[in-house]
C-alpha cells in the first residue's frame, strides 16, 4: 500500500487504540478536519479501517465483534444521548432486565437518579454501576462470566431470567440487517436476549446509527419483537417501511411525539 507517513501513523494509532476521533487526529497532526477525512477515506477504501461517526476504527467482521474497550469509546456521545432518552421514559419503581453491551451500560448510568428500580441483569458492569443506589434492588443472573466484558451467559442465565416477568426489557444489539433482522455474534448471548424479550412487557432496543446494516452471524429475531427502538438519528429510508409495518416506535433526540410507556 502506498500510504503517506501521516496515513501510516493514523493506521498505527487505530491499531493501538481501536478507535480514533477526527478531532484527536486534527490536534495530533495539526491539519484541517478535511485533510483528516481524506486520509480516513483513503484508508477505508483500502479496507484497513472502517469509518464511524466522528472518527474511524478497525474493520469488523460478521464472525467477531470489535473489542470491548474499543466499543466503550466508539460513538460515546451518541450512546449517552440514547441513554438519556431511555431514562426519561422509565418510571420510578419499575422492574427491568438490562442485557450486555456498552449502550446498555450507559443506560444504567442514566438511571442513577431514579428511585425504587428493580433490575435483573447478566452484565456485571451494570450491576456495579447500579448497586450503589440505596433504593435499587439489583439481581445478578447465574451463569458463565466472560472475561472480555464481564457478561454472564449460558443455560443457567436463560433459566434464571425465565423466573421473572418485568415491566421493561432493555437490550442492546450488535447489528440490524436492512430487512429488520436483529443480529449478534455470540449464540449464548442471543439466547439470553431472547429470554429477556419473552419475559418483558415492553422491549426497548438501544442502538446507535452504526448498528444499521452492520453484519453479525447469529440471528436473534425480527425487529417486530421490539416495542421501541431508541437511537441517535433516524434509521435508513430502506428500514423505515419495515419499522412501520412492525409497529415499532422510534425515538430519536428531539422527538416530541412519544409519551412513554406506562409500567
pLDDT band at 22 (very low <50, low <70, confident <90, very high): very high
Sorted by sequence, the CB contacts under 8 Å of residue 182 that are 6+ apart come out as: 173, 175, 176, 205, 219, 220, 221, 222, 223, 225, 226
- How many Cα atoms occupy the beta-carbon half-sphere of 188 within 13 Å? 12
| Residues 26-55, mean pLDDT to the nearest whole number | 90
pTM to 2 decimal places: 0.79
More confident: 41 or 57: 41
Task: Place 61 in a pLDDT band, splitting at 50, 70 and 90.
Answer: low
Q: How far apart are CA 230 and CA 120, in angstroms?
A: 20
What are the C-alpha distances in Å from 107 to residues 99, 129, 144, 198, 239? 11, 10, 23, 21, 24
Does residue 214 carry a pLDDT above 70? yes
Instruction: Kindly state the average pLDDT of the residues 31-45.
Output: 93
Torsion of CA 115, 121, 125, 128, to 10 degrees: 40
4-15 average pLDDT score? 87
Whether residue 261 is predicted with pLDDT greater than 70 in this model: the reply is no
| Average confidence (pLDDT) over 240-259 | 81
For the chain, list the domains and their CATH numbers: 5-59 (1.10.10.10), 72-251 (3.40.50.1360)
Cell of 18: 481501536
Q: Is the pLDDT of residue 258 over 50?
A: no
Gyration radius of the chain over CA positions: 19
- Given a cut of 60, whether residue 262 has pLDDT beyond it is no
pLDDT at 81: 95
Position 255 confidence tier, pLDDT thresholds 50, 70, 90: low
Cα separation of 175 and 65, whole Å? 10
pLDDT at residue 238 in the model: 83
Q: Does 84 have pLDDT greater than 50?
A: yes
Amino acid at each position: 500500500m502506498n500510504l503517506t507517513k501521516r496515513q501510516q501513523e493514523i493506521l498505527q494509532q487505530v491499531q493501538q487504540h481501536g478507535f480514533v476521533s477526527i478531532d484527536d487526529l486534527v490536534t495530533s497532526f495539526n491539519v484541517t478536519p478535511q485533510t483528516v477525512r481524506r486520509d480516513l477515506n483513503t484508508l477505508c477504501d483500502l479496507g484497513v479501517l472502517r469509518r464511524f461517526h466522528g472518527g474511524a476504527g478497525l474493520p469488523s467482521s460478521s464472525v467477531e465483534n470489535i473489542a470491548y474497550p474499543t466499543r466503550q469509546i466508539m460513538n460515546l456521545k451518541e450512546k449517552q444521548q440514547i441513554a438519556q432518552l431511555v431514562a426519561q421514559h422509565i418510571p420510578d419503581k419499575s422492574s427491568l432486565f438490562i442485557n450486555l453491551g456498552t449502550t446498555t451500560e450507559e443506560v444504567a448510568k442514566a438511571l442513577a437518579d431514579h428511585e425504587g428500580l428493580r433490575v435483573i441483569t447478566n452484565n456485571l458492569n451494570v450491576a456495579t454501576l447500579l448497586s450503589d443506589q440505596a433504593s435499587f434492588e439489583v439481581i445478578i443472573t447465574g451463569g458463565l462470566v466472560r472475561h472480555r466484558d464481564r457478561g454472564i451467559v449460558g443455560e443457567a442465565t436463560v433459566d434464571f431470567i425465565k423466573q421473572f416477568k418485568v415491566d421493561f426489557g432493555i437490550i442492546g444489539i450488535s447489528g440490524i440487517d436492512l430487512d429488520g433482522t436483529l443480529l449478534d455474534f455470540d449464540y449464548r448471548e442471543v439466547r439470553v436476549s431472547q429470554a429477556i424479550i419473552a419475559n418483558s412487557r415492553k422491549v426497548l432496543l438501544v442502538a446507535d446509527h452504526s448498528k444499521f446494516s452492520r453484519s453479525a452471524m447469529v440471528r436473534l429475531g425480527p425487529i417486530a419483537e421490539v416495542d421501541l427502538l431508541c437511537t441517535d438519528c433516524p434509521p435508513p429510508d430502506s428500514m423505515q417501511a419495515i419499522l412501520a409495518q412492525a409497529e415499532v416506535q422510534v425515538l430519536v433526540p428531539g422527538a416530541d411525539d412519544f409519551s412513554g410507556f406506562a409500567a
